[in-house]
Amino acid sequence: MNEVNCVLVVEKLVKELGARVSGYSIKKRLSNHPDYPGMLSMADGLSNFGIPNIAFKVKPGFANKKDLPSPFICRLKSDNPGKFIVVTNISDGNVHFSDGKKNKLGISEENFYKEWDGIALYAEKDATSGEQLYFQNLVMGYLEKARLPFFISICVLSAIFFIGIEITNSKLWTNLLLKTAGLIFSIFLIGHSIDSKNPFIENLCSIGKKNGCNTILKSSAANLTDWLSWSEIGLFYFSFTITAIIFSPGSANILSWIALACLPYSFYSIGYQYLKKSWCVLCCSVQAILWLDAGAFALSGHFELTGFSSAHIITLVSILLIIVSLWALVKPMLFKAYQTDFMKQQLNGFKNNTKLFDSFLAIGGHFDIPENLVSIKLGSPEARTTITMASNLYCNPCGEAHKTLRKWLSYRDDISLEIIFTVSAYVNDPRIEVIEYLSALSLQTNDSGTIAEAIDDWYQNGHKLEFLMNKYPVKSTQAIKKVTKIQNEWLFDAQITNTPTFFINGQRLSHPYRLDDIEYLIA
- CATH code: domain of residue 508: 3.40.30.10
| Same domain? 334 vs 368 | no
| Same domain? 383 vs 311 | no
Q: Please report the sign of the dihedral spanned by the C-alpha atoms of residue 190, residue 192, residue 193, residue 194.
A: positive
Position 282 scores a pLDDT of 85
Domain count, the chain: 3
* Domain-located, residue 433: yes
Position 91 scores a pLDDT of 83
Beta strand extents in 12-83 (DSSP E only) = 53-57, 72-76
| Same domain? 71 vs 183 | no
Beta bridge partners of 272: none
| Same domain? 177 vs 322 | yes
| Same domain? 331 vs 365 | no
User: Which among 1, 29, 2 is positioned nearest to 14, based on CA atoms?
Assistant: 29
Segment 390-413, tens digit of pLDDT: 988 888 888 889 989 988 888 888
- Asked whether residue 161 carries a pLDDT value surpassing 60, the answer given is no
Q: With the CA atoms of 44, 45, 49 and 50 taken in that order, what torsion angle do they form, in degrees rounded to the nearest 10?
A: -20
The lowest-confidence range among 40-54, 230-244, 326-340 is 326-340
Q: What integer is the mean pLDDT of 246-255?
A: 82
What are the backbone angles phi and psi of residue 379, rounded to the nearest 5°? 95, -175
User: Which among 457, 359, 375, 362 is positioned nearest to 416, based on CA atoms?
Assistant: 375
* Domain-located, residue 157: no
The lowest-confidence range among 121-130, 170-179, 292-301 is 170-179
Calculate the average pLDDT of the chain.
80
| Same domain? 303 vs 375 | no
39 touches 73 (CB < 8 A): yes
User: Which among 188, 394, 431 is positioned nearest to 275, based on CA atoms?
Assistant: 394
* Domain-located, residue 366: yes
468 touches 437 (CB < 8 A): yes
pLDDT band at 162 (very low <50, low <70, confident <90, very high): very low
* Domain-located, residue 398: yes
Segment 77-121, tens digit of pLDDT: 765 666 889 998 888 888 899 888 788 888 888 888 888 888 889
| Same domain? 362 vs 295 | no
Q: What integer is the mean pLDDT of 422-437?
A: 75
Cα angle: 512, vertex 515, 520; to 5 degrees: 100
Domain that holds residue 16: 2-131
What's the Cα-to-Cα distance from 403 to each of 257, 406, 408, rounded to whole Å? 41, 5, 9
413 touches 380 (CB < 8 A): yes
User: Which among 2, 45, 52 is positioned nearest to 22, based on CA atoms?
Assistant: 45
Segment 214-226, tens digit of pLDDT: 778 878 788 888 7
Q: What integer is the mean pLDDT of 286-293?
A: 92
User: Which among 83, 60, 56, 61 is positioned nearest to 72, based on CA atoms?
Assistant: 56
Position 145 scores a pLDDT of 67
Segment 431-457, tens digit of pLDDT: 788 888 888 888 777 778 888 888 888
Segment 303-312, tens digit of pLDDT: 777 767 788 8
pLDDT band at 329 (very low <50, low <70, confident <90, very high): confident
Whole-structure pTM value = 0.55
Segment 118-129, tens digit of pLDDT: 888 999 998 888
Residues near 324 by Cβ (< 8 Å), separated by ≥ 6? 236
* Domain end residue (candidates: 340, 368, 393): 340
- Asked whether residue 164 carries a pLDDT value surpassing 50, the answer given is no
| Same domain? 367 vs 270 | no
What CATH number does residue 298 fall under?
1.20.1440
Q: What integer is the mean pLDDT of 235-248?
A: 86
User: Which among 350, 423, 366 is positioned nearest to 392, based on CA atoms?
Assistant: 423
pLDDT band at 173 (very low <50, low <70, confident <90, very high): confident
| Same domain? 302 vs 378 | no
* Domain-located, residue 145: no
What CATH number does residue 11 fall under?
3.90.70.10
Q: What integer is the mean pLDDT of 138-164?
A: 59
- Asked whether residue 288 carries a pLDDT value surpassing 90, the answer given is yes
Beta bridge partners of 149: none
| Same domain? 289 vs 182 | yes
What are the backbone angles phi and psi of residue 329, rounded to the nearest 5°? -80, -40
Q: Are strands 376-379 and 223-225 parallel, antiparallel or unpaired?
A: unpaired
Report the distance separating Cα 509 and Cα 390, nearest Å.
11
- Read off the DSSP letter of residue 87: E
Q: With the CA atoms of 362, 367, 371 and 372 taken in that order, what torsion angle do they form, in degrees rounded to the nearest 10?
A: -170
